[in-house]
Amino acid sequence: MIIAERKPIDELKGFIAEAKKVLVVGCRGCVTVCNAGGTKEVGLLASLLRLDCEKEGRQVQVDEHTLERQCDPEYIDELLELVEKKYDAILSMACSVGPQFIAARYPDQNVFPSLNTLFIGGALKHGAWAERCQGCGNCVIHRFGGLCPIARCAKSLQNGPCGGSAGGICEISKDVECVWHLITTKMMETGRAETDFVPVQPMKDWSSSRDGGPRTIIREDLVK
Amino acid sequence: MSDFEPRIIAFCCQYCAYSAADMAGSMRLQYPPNVEVVLIPCTGRFDMLFALKAFEGGADGVYVAGCLEGTCHFLDGNFRAKQRVNYLRKELATLGVEEDRLRMYNLSASQGPRFVEFANEFTDLIREMGPSPFKVKSQAA
């Protein structure tokens, strides 16, 4: 899923500094699962903003609404009734796709991103998430024992490890495991180092990644 | 400001803090009427929104009272509550509000006098701090 976290409250306060009516919009997709922008987080942010405005002596109405998803136009349409109430600011608590879709659908609205979208990843445990994919567009993890060197190596090395790997730890931080240490260890432990492990990986074609520009998929069996 | 009487909401777990409050009553111990006790089944049920809604509703201080650490009836409810209280205390600080307006206390069901101590301590603390900044200006306006 897409992992995101809420922006610092000071930055959000800046977004609504001049506003009298604010709408906080959540998303029941990825950001609900990673506890960043679901119904609960919408409630917390709206409450914090209401309290802060009261503290500043400002009369500001902060409303809350959560959509099924903010990355689908059919759900963005649901906001029409609310948008007609003329909000001075709409704070989207989705990944950055959400505020873009809302801004595109309602061009006269002031839409602000309330989250910082961080990465594609998964939960290590409750409350902890880690990056596992960079969306390179051509998955090759089967070559590396199910571990992704593109997402998990600081240099995205296809042929590692580099000289910055020491004791299984990456030189960038003592908290970051060297994925190439994990890959080689796993390959040796499972007896696949000699048979399945291609010693030198061919050059990767990055045109399927961001290097090829913004990507679009059109499914002919689905598109109308 | 000297006649300021704070409004305090105390979220008390059924198994320890609330029972301790009961015990205080049975022992005829007095505690400040400023404290309004809200029964929750376990402090693990404490939601950060509870505290924020209490502040929105005019509370000057909020505390969560649960079992002693390691003795939660549901094993780790009080640790979960502690994490949430600490998280929200940081949020209050970022809004420029005294984080001690929200606290967590731990006590056992047999500690009636301790419940009174906490109620007195927190009420005195909030009385000293003055009214919640979340309502001062809007009331004056």
pLDDT score recorded for residue A77: 96
Per-residue pLDDT band for B141 (boundaries 50, 70, 90) equals very low
Q: Is residue B2 part of a domain?
A: no
| pLDDT at residue A185, as a whole number | 94
Q: Do B53 and A47 touch (CB under 8 A)?
A: yes
- For the cut 50, the answer to whether the pLDDT of residue B13 exceeds it is yes
User: Is B1 within the bounds of a domain?
Assistant: no
Domain of B132: which CATH number?
3.40.50
Instruction: Tell me A69's DSSP state.
Output: -
**Domains of chain A, with CATH numbers?**
2-118 (3.40.50.2300), 134-201 (no CATH)
Q: What is the per-residue pLDDT for B2? A: 63
Instruction: Give the model confidence (pLDDT) of B52-69 as tens digits.
Output: 999 999 999 999 999 999
Pairing of strands B35-40, B61-66: unpaired
Q: What is the pLDDT of residue A197?
A: 74
| Interface residues from chain A to B (CB-CB < 8 Å) | 8-10, 40, 43-44, 47-48, 50-52, 54-57, 59
| pTM, 2 dp | 0.92
| Residue B137, pLDDT above cutoff 70 | no
Domain extent at residue B103: 8-140
Of A40, A43, A51, the CB nearest to B134: A51
Would B45 be classed as within a structural domain? Answer: yes
Q: What residue ranges of chain A have pLDDT lower than 70?
A: none
The answer as to whether B3 is a domain residue is no
**How close is the nearest chain B Cα to the Cα of A56, in Å?**
7
The answer, for B49 touching chain A at a CB cutoff of 8 Å, is: yes
Number of domains in chain B: 1
Q: Catalogue the long-range contacts made by A95-102 (C-beta closer than 8 Å, 24 or more residues apart).
A: A95/A2, A95/A4, A95/A27, A95/A30, A95/A31, A95/A37, A95/A70, A95/A71, A97/A70, A97/A71, A98/A25, A98/A27, A98/A37, A98/A70, A98/A71, A99/A70, A101/A70, A101/A71, A101/A72, A101/A73, A101/A76, A102/A25, A102/A70, A102/A76
Q: Per residue in B115-136, pLDDT tens?
A: 999 999 999 999 999 999 997 5
pLDDT reported for residue A160: 87
